[in-house]
Amino acid sequence: MDKLLIRGPKPLSGSVEVAGAKNATLPIMAATLLTPEPCVIRHVPLVQDVKTMMKLLQILGKQAELKGDTLYLSDGKSLNVEAPYEIVKQMRASYYVLGPLLAREHRARVSLPGGCAIGPRPIDLHLKGMRALGAEIAIEHGYIAARARQLAGSEMLLEGSHGPSVGASANVMMAATLAQGRTVIHGASCEPEVVNLAEFLVALGARITGAGTPTITVDGVGQLHGTDFQPIPDRIEAGTLALAAAITRSRVELTGCRPEHMSALLEKMRGTGCSVEASGSTLKLDGRHAVKPVDVTTAPYPGFPTDCQAQFTALLCLAAGRSVVTEHVFESRYLHALELARMGARIDVDANQAVIDGVPKLSGAPVMASDIRASASLVLAGLAAEGETEISRIYHLDRGYARLEEKLRRLGADVTRIR
Ligand code: EPU
């Protein structure tokens, strides 16, 4: 298993380009199951989860080929309808094949994802949505077994006790594209990745309005065709790199991003004293000032993204005072706090709240990654800490970041991958 060795602290400088969004690319890849025609997806992030989704689509009978960062997807001889446990246990987003398979093949068997390091992650809203479209669903032998003669449009509320669901909104929207009649999803997620999926589906010939608002309307069509598409830039990778600039008190430029997707994060970064300048698709960060404490509460888009909470917490560990972080999306997403404490951070976690008393410096230590974003927070802490930080289990990091260490090295960080 690979490890990352970081020697810090070292200031960063220079410019890097942001990759395509993992969380937009994954549902878009699954959506190609809806059409028999070839699709081309450009500027895909070369992360492990994209490779896992390629493998899953191949198991389901699609042909998937990656040339550089362009992905070519087309139908094979016939489609299979079973997403096996071996794949789903590696990546929960495998459940994105449920909606497309039900819509096109009228049946699907998708393994239940099981436990997750960031807390309970039920899929009741996905199932509620599919049932509302007329699917019969049974849970058998660890699998979701779903079938429907022909999905039929319907009106539904897809919000749960933690607010809207990105995954359920996307899954139901995909299924509804080939359903008979009109589907109205209330309580839909407004995340840019859901909007981007809607744009992809419209490019395939789907009829969708309202994406980006809490009410999405889908008018079913008879069939969908192929397209050539480039997903949006990754706002979470961009946020992680922006926070790398802030935590190392550096000046860094990020190109190829969509700052308008990052408003909540950038506003909080400004609150810490980091200067942020957005111009078109470029972001200029200047973190050379002292870090001020701020309070942060995660929320569905356009709120502060839960996927940047761990990385922001790393920055607040070095603030001059007390900050309070409240997690409202995944309430126990704090495994990184214990590892940051090993590096000298003072964090007290109680239920969904972390109280962070800033310290003047962190010290390098051996630490362990537990999920994609927790890993990224340890990388950031390692960049700022004195001495050596060795991060193990970085396969978590590799699921969501394409060779993050190479980007950081280009900015001047001392980061090495140990095989
Ligand atoms: N929820 C339910 N029932 C459901 C589905 C979700 O109660 O059927 C709850 C969840 O437990 C959570 C909340 O609703 O409390 C929001 O979950 P959501 O469904 O929106 O999350 P997701 O679709 O499973 C995606 C991203 C996550 C990101 C969340 C929130 C992908 C592949 N994953 O997950 O990304 O944290 O939205 O923005 O898009 C990551 O990239 O590291 C990551 C975890």
Candidate of 23, 158, 193, 237 to mutate for ligand 1, largest count of ligand atoms within 8 Å of Cβ: 23
pLDDT at position 308? 98
**In contact, 129 and 151? CB cutoff 8 Å:** no
Which two three-digit tokens encode residue 146?
Answer: 């779903």
User: Which residues line the pocket of ligand 1, CB cutoff 6 A?
Assistant: 23, 26, 93, 120-126, 160, 162, 165-168, 189, 193, 306-307, 329-330, 372-373, 400
Active site residue 39: no
Say if residue 350's pLDDT is above 80.
yes
How many whole angstroms from 55 Cα to the centroid of ligand 1? 22
Q: What span, in angstroms and rounded, lies between the C-alpha atoms of 416 and 382?
A: 12
Exposure string of 5-25, with b = 16+ CB inside 10 Å and e = fewer, is bbbbbbbbeeebbbbbbbbbb
Q: Which residue has the tokens 């199951």?
A: 33
Query: Looking at ligand 1, which atom is closest to the CA of residue 96?
Result: 32
pLDDT tens-digit map of 123-142 = 999 999 999 999 999 999 99
Say if residue 114's pLDDT is above 80.
no
Contact residues for 244 (Cβ-Cβ < 8 A; gap 6+): 12, 250, 252, 379, 380, 383, 408, 411, 413
pLDDT tens-digit map of 280-289 = 999 999 999 9
Q: Does domain 22-229 have CATH number 1.20.950.20?
A: no
pLDDT at position 118? 85
pLDDT at position 120? 84
How many whole angstroms from 164 Cα to the centroid of ligand 1? 9
pLDDT at position 132? 98
Residue 86's region, left for phi above 0, alpha for psi from -120 to 50, else beta, is alpha
Q: In what order do the strands lie in the sheet with 414-418?
A: 366-368, 387-392, 3-8, 414-418
> What is the location of CATH 3.65.10.10 in the chain?
3-18+233-418, 22-229
Cα 104 to chain centroid distance, Å, stands at: 26
pTM of model > 0.95: yes
- Categorize the per-residue pLDDT at 63 as very low, low, confident or very high, splitting at 50, 70 and 90: very high
Candidate of 47, 159, 162 to mutate for ligand 1, largest count of ligand atoms within 8 Å of Cβ: 162
Q: What span, in angstroms and rounded, lies between the C-alpha atoms of 77 and 58?
A: 11
pLDDT tens-digit map of 263-282 = 999 999 999 999 999 999 99
Say if residue 377's pLDDT is above 80.
yes
- Categorize the per-residue pLDDT at 244 as very low, low, confident or very high, splitting at 50, 70 and 90: very high
pLDDT at position 119? 84
Closest C-alpha residue for ligand 1 atom 23: 167
Residue type, 166: V
Q: What span, in angstroms and rounded, lies between the C-alpha atoms of 295 and 85?
A: 40
Averaged pLDDT, 46-69: 98
- DSSP line for 118-130: TS----HHHHHHH
Query: Looking at ligand 1, which atom is closest to the CA of residue 331?
Result: 15
How many whole angstroms from 343 Cα to the centroid of ligand 1? 29
How many whole angstroms from 387 Cα to the centroid of ligand 1? 36
Q: What span, in angstroms and rounded, lies between the C-alpha atoms of 281 and 301?
A: 20
**In contact, 234 and 211? CB cutoff 8 Å:** no
pLDDT tens-digit map of 179-202 = 999 999 999 999 999 999 999 999
pLDDT at position 117? 85
Q: Which residue has the tokens 């359920």?
A: 168
| Active-site residue, selected from the candidate residues 39, 116, 190, 257 | 116
Q: What is the CATH number of domain 3-18+233-418?
A: 3.65.10.10
